[in-house]
Chains A and B, each alone.
Chain A
Amino acid sequence: MADLKVRIGALELKNPIISASGTFGYGLEFADMMDIKKIGAFCTKGLSLKSRAGNQMPRICETPCGMINSIGLENVGIDAFEAEKLPKIRQAGATVIANFFGDTEADYVEAARRLAAMDGVHALEMNVSCPNVDKGGIEFGGDPVFLEKLTAAVKKVCPGKPLIVKLSPNVADIRPFAAAVENGGGDAISAINTLKGMSIDVKTRRPKIKRVFGGLSGPAIKPVALKMVYECVKTVEIPVIGIGGIGSLDDALEFLIAGASAVQVGTMNFVEPAICQRLAEELNAYCDRENIARVTDIISTLRTD
């Protein structure tokens, strides 16, 4: 039995396999299909102060080795999460990372304050790939100066719990954004969110997604994600959580070797609901087989000589 524990700021995870926001519901949906205590943590669907209905249908479609979604951040809202979901999640013994977002900086701060105060929420993950209402629709995660300010403002209201900031890959260079999170006092970075993409139904000549553009995820984006995660790791000292197209132990190892302290599995949860538990088990078996005492011994071992 290898030591699979990793640290994300003050939080110790029992292993580095996390299920990603928007692909794991509120965790409870998986209760019949796996043991959600056995994975490092899970990220909730992105939460906002008020519940949201999300975008119009259709809002998903398939692409080569991937999918596009334009769910539009549908969620039950923070009140319902606290009242209806969290007690059951706590009972299930899961480690919870509350993913959240807002339309304005004030929304973000208030959401973080609320979530940080909840017993059973172990860390916060801030999704900054949302249009900023105050700044005319530019994404919060699209300007490093603003991102640093937002991070600092949010960190102030959740001093006791790790604040992970989730970066958008739809930028020319991710490094200034990683640096902005660190400078703003963020405890960790997670990367990447979805790439912007589009798909057309040739028969109807309509976009397959009602809102035309959506977010590309799945194995197709893995090389892009790995490159950006590696760049973040080279830029900051705080832990980086790797996300994008992970579907096998080798995929997870690629991110750990590149320097990620933990990984998140998104789209592949749809294909294989128990995948995170399987990967955690396989990671343990791998470490034993390879005589690796601590999973942290794998992190940042890329050889580029």
Chain B
Amino acid sequence: MKIIRDDFPILSVLENGKPLIYLDNAATTSKPLAVLNAVETYYRMDNANPHRGVYELGARATKAHEDSRKIVGDFLNASSDEIVFTQNATESLNLIAYSYGIEFLKKGDEIVLSVAEHHSNLVPWQRVSKITGAKLVYLYPDNMGHLTEEELDKKITSKTRLIAVAQVSNILGIEIPIDSIVRRARNAGAVVVLDCAQSIPHMIVDVKALDVDFAVFSGHKLYAPMGIGVLYGKKDLLDKMPPFLTGGDMIGSVHEQSSTYAEVPRRFEAGTRNVGGEVGLAAAINYLNSLGWENIKNHEKELMTQALKGLTDIPHITIYGDPSPDKRHGVISFNVEEVHPHDTASLLDSDGITVRAGHHCAQPLMEYLKINSCVRVSFGIYNTKEDVDIFINSLKNVRGLMGYGS
């Protein structure tokens, strides 16, 4: 897939005077020309406020808006009216927490999260817990980073009303046993919120086959522009939820003292939509589909295998979670013994390699792993074997540069 690098203009900038080796794809991805051009064309040809003008240009904007919704729906195997556009995964999760969690949970209920959740799938539930009295219960991974059947049995009980989990953790990179979780949720009568922010760039997410109740992701991690996110919700659930943000476009009728609300999905889309972002997201999905998901998976699996092998071969490196490539998608987190992650990242950066160091918006997992922070390398469709080689070679020098023998 090397040829596609030309589709991504940013990959030819310099990083610290060196060719950029972009390995922070889990934070955000680079955008292909297909996406940049689609957005630009929208603003050059079709820009208007959707749903508001009876004129032709307005109709084109409305069509761009609704066509994008259809493309996202098809991508997730959902129908269009189950797709709500938001600004990012975080807003999608807040929407569910507010309009479902606060509305339908109560004292005595339990909300089950994994301790590996990103703050965006954690802090909103703390608020729900505080307001409703529902209890937050955490799933803890085993020492390979997996959620075991025993752990699921123990935590998902008849009190469980909602389970919110990332399909792939942004630190461990490990896919959770979502089928087991959904099965237990069905028995418990709980709804399942799937945070696909880190899974969807690497695999097809079929919400119907998974039978999850809600799913969320961010466009910017899927090669689309920033400022556009998605919430999928089963129609019957969305139908019974009150609105979250209120204002223009999401209303039925407004009187001085009271209002009625529009049907879903519009009920959840207040104010002028980011149609440019939606068009960009649709273009990104089309682009990925045209590459072919089997190709993407195979390519990324190769990179993952190579990187894990390289990392395990370097002494004084701790990898967090199962180091077998089959279980992993996109990310590997690790630390270099005696070297602070920020120093590791800065030294890699001096070779043009961008990785992330910090708590990665997952402090509870850091506490659980008894580390303060770690380094994360994460791959995208445009990364190459050479990128991985350069990364591994640079990493080999880190301890030496920090004054350690090896």
Do A and B make up one complex? Answer: no
What residues make up the interface of B, taking CB atoms closer than 8 Å to A?
Answer: none
